[in-house]
Amino acid sequence: MCGIIGYIGQKEANSILIDGLKRMEYRGYDSAGVAVLDNGTIFSLKRIGKVAELARAQTKFPHRGPIGIGHTRWATHGNVSERNAHPHLSDDGRFAVVHNGIIENYLQIKAFLIERNYRFASDTDTEILANLIDYHYQKAPHLHFAEIVRKTLLHVEGTYGIAIISKIFADELVVARKGSPLLIGLGEGENIVASDAAAVARYTKRVVYLNDGEVASVRSDNFSITTLHENAVDVVCHELDWEIHDTDLADYPHYMLKEIFEQPSVIENAMRGRFTADGCSAKFGGISLIPRELRMVDRLLFCACGTAYHACLVGKYLIEKYARIPVDVEYASEFRYRNAPPQRNTLVFVVSQSGETIDTLAALHEAKRRGYMVLGITNVVGSTIARATDAGIYQHAGLEMGVASTKAFTSQITILSMLALLFARIRDMDAIVGLQYVQALKSLPIIASDVLKLSEQIRIIAEKYYGYERFLFLGRQAMYPIALEGALKLKEIAYVHAEAFPTAEMKHGPIALISEETICIFIATQNELLDKTMNNIQEVKARGGKVIAIVNNNCIAWEIFCDEVLIIPEVHPGINPITSVIPLQFLAYYIGILRGCDVDRPRNLAKSVTVE
Ligand code: G6P
């Protein structure tokens, strides 16, 4: 969603702001803008559409000041237009603000300010912040910049990550956070604030994450943080584990394709150092529970959104199958508002690539409020969810730039497969079976590389079917969530209506959709129930539907009854979902490309949904 960047140092702020905005483009946005303080005046420039539009307009923006803020906006209040794009300046141009989040009491504040003759140029909730800061400045001009902002925010309800510059306080930038991520990247003689580490990774790897209710005053060579109520804060500096090339495309045309191809190494990183010395089980340094405590767990509850939710569903099948622990999986957005009955000896996991998804964070808080221990699986080190959980597991998948998650998904299901092994070895699974499981996991990067070789075959299949408007994805057991994920990818990337069902459910309704216009994708890579799946395939063929099957062996029946057959290596059932999803990622990618879609930045989607 919205991206925030701010610079203070010795260099020209403008180019650094534009570069930071480009690096946050993957989050999704509809307009962009910058404001720079130059010779005592704040100048702003905004454009709807891509950051490239803003960059092009820079030729008419000759402002070279060393302090500024920038923003990519994902419209919530007010339509997509230049006047609603950020930064927003206070009425007389003294302050400029960029904001991520929603100010809930903005109408009351706006009325209050209009009564005091403030004028407004936009329909946004953000503009009231600029004017309210100005109002508090006028009331007490002797106060420090951060004090004025603190006083202002005491009157504000809602969520915000904000960055503010002022012509009155020319050597300072103020940032504050409540419910929307913000960090300070620490440089030499310069500091960069951002809502996303991707925007600062090029300049520094040392970052300080703000917590909710904190306000920071940032200068070129120092910074200080207090709470809204002026209490001192223990500052913790984190080291980013990304490389700058994570944000580059290398030789790939799109981040999505690059990230699909990164999966063998991503899977390896998810496993690195996480097998026990005897080679029969998994271990996670981040999970502080000892085996006796883990054995006391009677039930697991997973909460997540989107693709991460599908990963949790895969985890349910694997954990219940191998560890025999009941697992519930809930959409975080449902759990947070649902009055779920309390359960004894339940361990809660929240799973989130970004570590910032607002619903997942809220579910985490709700679970903690109810007294559950909450563990996290996240990709972004130091993210809000990573910091709010009791303990957790990092994915180490590197920065994921494609809005539609690919490598983060396989990394999550690799970790969940290892969790299934860990819990199983504490309970039912003997060492020999554990050893076989570990060997299967260790072979996974090479097998995933083999599956990647199907890319060209899938591109050719995509060329045949990209014009169709109706796709059904069908899978049994752990392949059902893989079917859900395949359908989600196609919807997100190619804007094609796609649905997923457990294969046998087809008869209970979806079969009515089958005609010559319907493509059915069967994920038939688990050995059990293949005969029954073959019956389902014949039911589709009898009604004129097209069948694409993903299978493990090239038996004659597949060739006879399916229009297309994709053969992937037969593997241990504990890793089967990981290899099975890769062809579906390719299929969505190629169909998206053939339909002319912007696969890295699909319409209306945001990489990380930080507002409700
Ligand atoms: C957004 C993204 C999805 C993602 C979901 C959860 O909707 O578009 O791709 O799966 O958020 O994100 P998270 O960062 O919590 O895994």
CB atoms within 10 A of CB 301: 22
HEC string of 121-168 equals: CCCCCHHHHHHHHHHHHHHCCCCCHHHHHHHHHCCCCECEEEEEEECC
Q: Specify the pLDDT at position 556.
A: 76
> What ligand 1 atom has the least distance to the C-alpha of 404?
9
Pairwise CA distance, residues 124 & 231, whole Å: 31
CB atoms within 10 A of CB 222: 9
Q: Is 312 a catalytic residue?
A: no
Distance set, CA 16 to CA 5, 200, 583 (Å): 9, 9, 38
**The CATH number, out of the four listed (3.10.310.30, 2.60.120.260, 3.40.50.970, 3.40.50.10490), of the domain defined by the range 453-598:** 3.40.50.10490
Q: Is 11 a catalytic residue?
A: no
Measuring from atom 9 of ligand 1, which residue has the nearest CA? 404
3-state SS, residue 393 = strand
Pairwise CA distance, residues 413 & 147, whole Å: 46
Pairwise CA distance, residues 385 & 377, whole Å: 9
Q: What does the DSSP 8-state code read for residue 105?
A: T
Q: Is the peptide bond before 141 cis (omega within 30 degrees of 0)?
A: no
3-state SS, residue 456 = helix
DSSP for 22-76 reads HHTGGG--SEEEEEEEETTEEEEEEEES-HHHHHHHGGG-----SEEEEEEE--S
Residues of the chain with CATH 3.60.20.10: 3-246
Measuring from atom 2 of ligand 1, which residue has the nearest CA? 607
Contacts of 250 (CB under 8 A, 6+ apart): 258
Q: What does the DSSP 8-state code read for residue 282?
A: B
Residues of the chain with CATH 3.40.50.10490: 269-451, 453-598
Residue 173 CA to ligand 1 center (angstroms) comes to 31
Q: What does the DSSP 8-state code read for residue 342?
A: P
Contacts of 162 (CB under 8 A, 6+ apart): 4, 97, 98, 99, 100, 101, 129, 175, 176, 177, 182
Mode of pairing for the β-strands spanning 3-8 and 191-194: antiparallel
Q: Which of 270, 343, 357 is nearest to 300 (CA)?
A: 343
> What ligand 1 atom has the least distance to the C-alpha of 306?
10
The CATH T-level fold of domain 269-451 is: Rossmann fold (3.40.50)
Instruction: State residue 99 phi and psi, 5-degree precision.
Output: -145, 140
Mean pLDDT by 10 residues, the chain (612 residues): 92 94 85 95 93 90 93 84 93 95 92 95 92 96 96 95 97 95 95 93 92 96 95 89 72 95 96 95 86 89 98 98 96 91 91 94 95 94 90 92 94 98 94 97 97 97 96 95 98 96 90 90 85 87 93 80 93 95 98 95 79 70
Plot region of 117 (φ>0 → left; ψ -120 to 50 → alpha; else → beta): left
Pairwise CA distance, residues 35 & 291, whole Å: 54
CA atoms within 13 A on the CB side of 292: 0
Asked whether 397 and 411 are in contact (CB, 8 A), the reply is yes
Pairwise CA distance, residues 532 & 557, whole Å: 13
Q: What does the DSSP 8-state code read for residue 340?
A: P
CB atoms within 10 A of CB 391: 15
The domain defined by 3-246 carries CATH number 3.60.20.10:
yes
HEC string of 295-331 equals: HCCCEEEEEECHHHHHHHHHHHHHHHHHHCCCEEEEE
Asked whether 88 and 130 are in contact (CB, 8 A), the reply is yes
Q: Which of 290, 316, 289 is nearest to 302 (CA)?
A: 316
Asked whether 468 and 313 are in contact (CB, 8 A), the reply is no
Asked whether 405 and 306 are in contact (CB, 8 A), the reply is yes
Residue among 2, 520, 562, 597 flagged as catalytic:
2
Q: Specify the pLDDT at position 290.
A: 78
Residue 306 CA to ligand 1 center (angstroms) comes to 5
Radius of gyration of the chain (CA): 26
Pairwise CA distance, residues 399 & 402, whole Å: 9
Determine the length of the chain: 612
Q: Which of 91, 84, 8, 100 is nearest to 48 (CA)?
A: 84
Residue among 110, 178, 258, 607 flagged as catalytic:
607
Q: Specify the pLDDT at position 244.
A: 62
Distance set, CA 233 to CA 17, 208, 386, 439 (Å): 28, 12, 19, 46
Q: What does the DSSP 8-state code read for residue 354?
A: S
- Ligand 1 contacts (CB < 6 A) are 305-308, 352-354, 357, 360, 403-405, 605-609
Measuring from atom 4 of ligand 1, which residue has the nearest CA? 306
Residue 359 CA to ligand 1 center (angstroms) comes to 10
